[in-house]
């Protein structure tokens, strides 16, 4: 018969291993003061709750999207085995990437480096979800509920809007924007890793 003390010790040890397994080594965005106009624009960008349903002006654009969806779904099989989950993830990623004016391959590369496609990943500094968004962003731009950062569309919406913001601040310099996203602005390892990962998804 297992003692109560042994059971508790086993639970604590197991929980610690789970946390260690789920943690990621990615850095996190640094909190910076935002001008009121910037805060308002970013808040507006993340507040629209429209479902991520792509719309197309012509048949060729729709076919191009469907080809992309099929190809990326095949690539993502080893990370997400469920076909419907892959489709929902990729559809949301495509929608939020285009909404923010970003290349979906870039966002896929960033997610690969940040969370390795783990929805509930948490970094050592508290960044959360697929795109490892820091909780302070929910206080700056949302209702302050950091738990929502584990919601698929919320996480991708915040992550894409934040990366777009950093790109604009860096005047289109992707290297510097990626460094800022990771909290390592000006250092090469992280931007280079994301850009290398991006090539896999192009």
Q: pLDDT tier at 71 (50, 70, 90 boundaries)? A: very high
Is 122 strand, coil or helix?
strand
CA 68 to chain centre: 19
Q: How far apart are CA 96 and CA 116, in angstroms?
A: 18
Convert the pLDDT of each residue in 49-66 to its tens digit. Answer: 777 888 899 999 999 999
Q: How far apart are CA 134 and CA 56, in angstroms?
A: 33
Residue 4: per-residue pLDDT: 39
Residue 7: per-residue pLDDT: 39
Is 101 strand, coil or helix?
coil
Residue 48: per-residue pLDDT: 75
**Cβ neighbours, 10 Å, residue 202:** 10
Q: pLDDT tier at 41 (50, 70, 90 boundaries)? A: confident
Residue 172: per-residue pLDDT: 97
Q: How far apart are CA 41 and CA 99, in angstroms?
A: 14
Higher per-residue confidence, 13 vs 151: 151
The residues spanned by each domain of the chain are 26-201
Quote the Cα angle for 39-111-113, to 5°. Answer: 115
Its pTM stands at: 0.82
Convert the pLDDT of each residue in 82-114 to its tens digit. Answer: 999 999 999 999 999 999 999 999 999 999 999
SS3 string, 139-151, reads HHHCCCCHHHHHC
Q: What is the dihedral of CA 167, 173, 176, 182, to 10 degrees?
A: 40
26-201: which CATH topology? Answer: Lysozyme (1.10.530)
Q: What are the angstrom distances between the C-alpha of 16 and each of 27, 114, 120, 150?
A: 21, 21, 15, 20
């Amino acid at each position: 018969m297992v003692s109560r003390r042994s059971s508790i010790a086993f639970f604590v040890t197991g929980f610690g291993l789970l946390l260690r397994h789920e943690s990621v080594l990615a850095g996190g965005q640094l909190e910076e003061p935002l001008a009121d106009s910037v805060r308002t624009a970013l808040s507006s960008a993340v507040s629209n709750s429209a479902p991520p349903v792509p719309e197309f002006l012509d048949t060729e654009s729709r076919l191009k999207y469907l080809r992309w969806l099929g190809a990326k779904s095949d690539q993502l099989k080893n990370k997400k085995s469920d076909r419907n989950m892959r489709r929902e993830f990729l559809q949301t990623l495509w929608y939020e990437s285009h909404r923010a004016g970003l290349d979906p391959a870039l966002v896929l590369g960033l997610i690969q480096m940040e969370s390795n496609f783990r929805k509930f990943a948490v970094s050592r500094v508290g960044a959360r979800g697929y795109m490892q968004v820091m909780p302070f962003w929910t206080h700056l731009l949302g209702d302050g509920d950091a738990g929502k950062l584990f919601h698929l569309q919320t996480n991708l919406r915040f992550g894409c809007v934040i990366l777009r913001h950093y790109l604009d601040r860096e005047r289109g310099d992707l290297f510097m924007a990626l460094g800022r996203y990771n909290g390592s602005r000006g250092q090469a390892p992280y931007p280079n890793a994301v850009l290398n990962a991006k090539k896999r998804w192009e």
